[in-house]
Chain A
Amino acid sequence: MKRERPRALADYLPVAVPTAVLAIFFVMPFGIMVAISFFKRVQGGFYTPDFVFDNYARFLSAFFGRVLGFSMGLAALVALIAVSIALPFTVQLAALRGRAQVAWLVALLAVLSLSEVIIGFAWATLFSRTAGISNILAFLGAMARPVSLSPSFGAVLTGMVYQAFPYAVLILYPAVVRLDPALAEASRTLGASPVRAFLTVVLPALRHAVGATLILVFVFALGSYLLPQMLGQPQHWTISVLVTDQAVYQSNLPFAAAMAVFLVLACLGLIGIATLVGRQKELA
């Protein structure tokens, strides 16, 4: 198909509606948030329009630095684990017959339809001392007696990986399905064991899809604010939890906005660096 450059204003009409939707529901709220982040907070009240850096200044403390570091680290770990499980899973899935593939994909979509609250409560129950998986382990004799596994860092991580996994699979799936099965076979005829064929041929062939999935799952995990509260202790709370706390419970919208803006900037910065590193490797 040949695409012609738009010449008249009317040629832009088809994109007018999406542009308007983006502007009204995305750009404008984001702009308002950026604006509020510079407003002055009124103690016990709301805020007054102003242009102060107080909110950002408050943010530049060891405490928030630590929370930001923890949030990024947690999101990166979630992305890494979710993608390392999802990639072999998706490769196996793509090798199944059509009908089996559909069944798996429907099951994954069903997980996506669960709300974060339900996922949180489900895992909290599973990790509990009275009704959790440790009861099964104790029953089987693998454990002396049932213990409570939540709240803990492991519980937060498990819940978030569980939530991110279907996303990872669904993002990887199209690329994996398009991959020529002859690539892995060729690698095997050339002397690579199945595992080596995966690492030296399948993985490099999917590197762009894997990179994109890592970034998307990372951003997705960074926004998670319920699971760290439900399954973790206060030291496992992420920036998103603090943003919620400031905005909803402390009524400090300017500070919450400043944190959110900072999170977005930090996130964009990281993705930028990751993309640059990826491109550098490509050129090498």
Chain B
Amino acid sequence: MPDLVLEGLTRTFGAVNAVDHVDLTIKAGTFVCLLGPSGCGKTTLLRMIAGLEEPTSGSLRLDGRDLTHVPTHRRDFGMVFQSLALFQHLDVAGNIAYPLKLRNVPRERLEARVGELVDLVRLKGFEHRAVSKLSGGQRQRVAIARALAVEPSLFLLDEPLSALDAKLREAMQVELRELQRRLGITTIVVTHDQREAMTMGDLVVVMNGGRIRQAASPTEVYRRPADAFVADFIGTTNLIKVRRKGEVLLCEGGQLPRADIAGEGIVSIRPESLALVRPDRGTIVGTVSFVRDLGASVETFVSAGDQSYIVVASPDAWSPVQAGDKVGLTVAPGGVLVLPS
């Protein structure tokens, strides 16, 4: 099975390392999400894989074949761009047929393949529609069908869903994931949306400052983040400075149960692992600074000294408090996560 292997891949712009010695092996058929804040190098990394950006150093191999200096048009990868880059002078079928025509696919086979792809992305009846007359989701599907037309060995998507509204985006995430599973094609998606990454990815690659901070399954990056950056970027978390004292960890406003830490360090506690209790029952005591009722859940912000804690609870489990109330906090068993410093 063809694996994609990146070794020490680096791209420098001036004095900045946009991508800094990235090593990554992607198994065939994996759905990978490159996740990170803007400017973290995820798009540059994807563009290097596509051949649109020349690596400053490092190498790229697919199935043992060195692709580092192979020009884009000989890589046979399918790519969906953030702007979609649909060809306005061609209709839906024309866009999908474009890569096939470049390869001089005979007319009959070409038409059959376009028909298959139109079915695949559920655009039957729209073949001869101008791309400018399509909705956002339909345009998205044309871009996907066009990129998949020649059955590429690698399917790359650069923030493909960022132009869609929230509802449609969630629907497309599921659709994209199902499509990928059906075709079994190795897929790499760049996104800055951690929910999107968690929905679609087999492997979530969290990047920051041009480096990979963690590459693991969605559950693992959430439950066992490699460092404070990952813990903070994936979902919401409380990053708490602690100091070991005997059997407990001291923190602002009180103490936490013992964890595997010596001296000083940082722990992460997910908001759902904290619970609000009466001040005398909590291990941490603080003052409510803000309450945000989102309907499905309630977020309570509690400040204690310099530290701010976020507590998330379902409305049923939440005891009514308001800003200024003194409250206690308790941690669910196993809720304290020690982060390597």
Contacts and interface: CB of A to CB of B under 8 A. Distances in A.
Interface of A: 180, 182-183, 185-194, 196-197, 200-201, 204-205, 207
B87 interface: yes
A191 B85 contact: no
B85 A185 contact: yes
A85 to B, nearest CB: 23
B85 A186 contact: yes
Contact of B85 (A182, A193, A204): A182
A200 B100 CA distance: 13
19 contacts: A180-B83, A180-B85, A183-B87, A185-B52, A185-B72, A185-B79, A185-B85, A186-B81, A186-B85, A188-B72, A189-B72, A189-B73, A189-B156, A191-B76, A191-B99, A193-B71, A196-B102, A200-B102, A207-B89
**Residue from A185, A187, A192, A197 with most neighbouring chain B CB atoms (10 Å):** A185
B99 A204 contact: no
What 4 A-B pairs come out closest when comparing CB atoms? A186-B85, A190-B99, A182-B85, A204-B89
B50 interface: yes
A247 B98 CA distance: 56
A50 B225 CA distance: 95
Interface in B139-175: 146-147, 149-150, 156
A182 B99 contact: no
Contact of B150 (A180, A188, A191, A197): A191
A197 B98 CA distance: 11
Contacts of B318: none
Given A189-B72, A192-B73, A182 B83 contact: yes
Interface string B76-88: 1111011101011
A209 B315 CA distance: 60
Contacts of B88: 205
A12 to B, nearest CB: 34
Interface string B35-78: 00000000000000011100000000000000000011101111
**Residue from A182, A190, A200, A205 with most neighbouring chain B CB atoms (10 Å):** A190
**Contact size class for B?**
20 to 34
A190 B102 contact: yes
B103 interface: yes
Given A189-B52, A190-B98, A183 B76 contact: no
Contacts of A186: 79, 81, 85, 87
Contacts of A205: 87-89
Contacts of B150: 190-191
Contacts of A194: 73
Contacts of B76: 191
A196 B147 CA distance: 18
Nearest to B47: A185
A187 B81 CA distance: 11
Contacts of A189: 50-52, 72-73, 75, 77-79, 147, 156
B43 to A, nearest CB: 12
A97 to B, nearest CB: 12
A192 B75 CA distance: 11
Contact of B73 (A182, A191, A207): A191
B88 to A, nearest CB: 7
B254 to A, nearest CB: 53
Interface string B256-283: 0000000000000000000000000000
**Residue from A182, A189, A193, A204 with most neighbouring chain B CB atoms (10 Å):** A189
